[in-house]
Amino acid sequence: MHPPFPLETVLQNRYRLLQLLGQGGFGRTYLAEDQNRFNELCVLKELTPAQTQPDALSKAKELFHREAKVLYQIQHAQIPQFRETFEQDQRLFLVQDYVEGRTYRALLEEYRAQGRRFSEAEVLFLLQQLLPVLAYLHSQGIVHRDISPENLIRRARDGQPVLIDFGVVKQLATQLQRPDQGLTAVGKLGYAPSEQMQTGRVYPSSDLYALAVTAVVLLSGREPPELLDDTTLTWRWQAWATTSPELAQILDRMLSSQPGERYAATNDVLQALREVPQPGLVPSSLSPAPAAPLSQVQTWAVGLPAEPNLPAAPVRAVARHSLWDRPWVVAAFCVGLALTSGLISWAVSSSVRVEAPPVPDASPSQSSSPAKPTPSPRPTPTLDPREQAYRTKLATLRQELGLGGEAHERFFIRLVDDVFCPQHPELRPCKLGTEQIDLRLQWFGTAEELLNRLKQANLSETLRVQLGNYQLKTDPERWKQAAHQLNLNSCALADLTDARFYQLFQGWVPQGRGQNLVAQYEPGLGQVWMALAYDQLAAMQANPPQVIRVRRDGGSEGSLEPGEGKIYLARLREGRTLAVELESNRATQWSVYPPVGAPGRCEESALLQDSSDPGWAGQLPQSGFYQVVVVSAAPERLDYRLKLEAQETEED
């Protein structure tokens, strides 16, 4: 490859090179001044053919101009405009507009340094603004091929995402370097789907896949190798991000390894995104409450965060002229804007009430821009001091528990509703007006007690992560499969989860099989149950259940705290008779489950379930690891002794 041109070199007696922006196997990218356009900044992309024989160079030029013609046809405000091509010193150049701003890669690195990740609102904005750009490209028969944080720029002047560095150019460069090869694979490893990397074939859904990878990288703050399971090619990103279930479902579909399982078109994704709830919603049980004075309460921005002041690129300033440089144009625009704003403000103030902020989000990473007071002919009411005190207290508790962020806020509101609403059947629907101050205070009182109970539960990191993960329709199956790998029937693990769950919510939740709560209370109480199940699973993976050798020692002794349980495994043969005895100084419940793979639900397959009897005996229907589960049903610590006897056993 030729060495780079020295800076300040003028190409074509027109383009002065100011800065080397990047360099790769296909060539280089320069920042330059266009001296024929008042020193306007532009970008030069250099493509250097590896072979310089006359035939190879002629073929390279043919391909180059053919592909440049495709780029010339692209006319979109969020894609740098193609200007021209030229050749100099056996090097081929593309000239495009320069976009002032920062790449999403640079923004991501800045967020990481601050201990932050992109919020759901920021990623939603990126998707909603970029998908129409892809829809335009795909309608022209063009696939970008190389979407990643490096190739997306947040434009400084308006915050819009701009798509740069088309993979079609890199594919062209590859063909120029290896003209003897046919279809070539171009794309960024980890971002491009398998069909693109393995065969070089691309579809519109290939761009959707890469965009989804970009989204989960921004949401999680982690790179693709950390999020993709190499053995199953399944994305495991939700443990590192907090999103609504609707957005997570959309991203998972876009991330499908099979092109046919993704969305067929970008407009389908845009339609699905309309169902994603916007951040900053009012609690479902509380109708809009009076707004508090700006000097007394914290304010939460609804919608998109304010665009930060981004520094300009480190290049020389260039004068730019436009219509806005003319004073009469600016004056006319301001007068028109003032009249329009006045009419809109009058219409809004005449038709809607002022909404209160939602239950406080204590996450320090979710910043918001200061709210600007809107003139109104009516005085602004204030929050009841008792309600304001609750809001402040809840914010502190949520911060202590690590339950900040938008996804945790929605989970928390639903959790409180699940407990509060059944206690007040007279509320149909379960909505509270601003005048129902006593009931509103009860709602906040319930919220405080719930947070205190979660605090007393000593939440593990696994549990805190799961409380922001709403994919309950798929997570139970993954949880069951992980349990089976430990030779555990998921019913046994559910018993331990039930014990902890009902001890945590004693007196608030009707006793029953906890797994039913996942569907009944999603994403409130059911989310807590599912998170506790994952917590139990993590503990089991770190410390697998004890295997009892029935013939050798016959049993085990132990103690349990309130809400605690333990699982024992015994490897037994089909047709033998098993006798189990449980001695305890306080109330216990215990169950006996068959090996993994037994047909039927827990109630149908269990040999014994939720029993308080001191003993049980029965014939074993199959060979394998049987599970004996002992859980505490007492308010105090208890001691127990478990004894197993069988006619014959199979030693490990």
Q: What is the DSSP string of 107-147?
A: HHHHHHHTT----HHHHHHHHHHHHHHHHHHHHTT------
Active site residue 146: yes
- Rounded distance between C-alpha atoms, residue 630 and residue 582, angstroms: 9
> Which listed residue (34, 55, 146, 180) is catalytic?
146
Tokens of 555: 């049993």
Beta sheet of 546-547, edge-to-edge order: 546-547, 565-572, 624-632, 588-593, 608-611
Backbone angles phi, psi at 377, to 5 degrees: -70, -15
Residue 182: exposure state from Cβ atoms within 10 A (0-12, 13-18, ≥19): exposed
Residues contacting 247, CB < 8 A, separation 6+? 120, 123, 124, 273, 276
Say if residues 322 and 386 touch (Cβ distance below 8 Å).
no
Pairing outcome for strands 546-547 and 565-572:
parallel
Pairing outcome for strands 27-34 and 15-24:
antiparallel
- Rounded distance between C-alpha atoms, residue 59 and residue 44, angstroms: 22
Backbone angles phi, psi at 624, to 5 degrees: 140, -165
Three-state secondary structure of 167-227 = HHHHHHHHHHHCCCCCCCCCCCCCCCCHHHHHHCCCCHHHHHHHHHHHHHHHHHCCCHHHH
Reduced to 3 states, what is the DSSP secondary structure of residue 103? strand
- Rounded distance between C-alpha atoms, residue 591 and residue 587, angstroms: 14
Reduced to 3 states, what is the DSSP secondary structure of residue 324? helix
Return the closest-CA partner of residue 276 out of 308, 238, 312, 244: 244
Reduced to 3 states, what is the DSSP secondary structure of residue 154? strand
- Rounded distance between C-alpha atoms, residue 454 and residue 405, angstroms: 17
Say if residues 212 and 233 touch (Cβ distance below 8 Å).
no
First to last CA, the chain: 65
Say if residues 448 and 360 touch (Cβ distance below 8 Å).
no
The DSSP 8-state label assigned to residue 287 in this structure reads: P
- Rounded distance between C-alpha atoms, residue 19 and residue 171, angstroms: 25
Residue 642 bridge partners (DSSP): 556, 582
Tokens of 238: 């939700």
- Rounded distance between C-alpha atoms, residue 211 and residue 425, angstroms: 46
Say if residues 390 and 351 touch (Cβ distance below 8 Å).
no
Peptide bond into 545 cis (omega under 30): no
CA distances from 470 to 1, 412, 504, 571 (A): 51, 12, 21, 37
Overall size of the chain counted in residues: 652
Reduced to 3 states, what is the DSSP secondary structure of residue 580? strand
Q: Which positions are annotated as active-site residues? A: 146
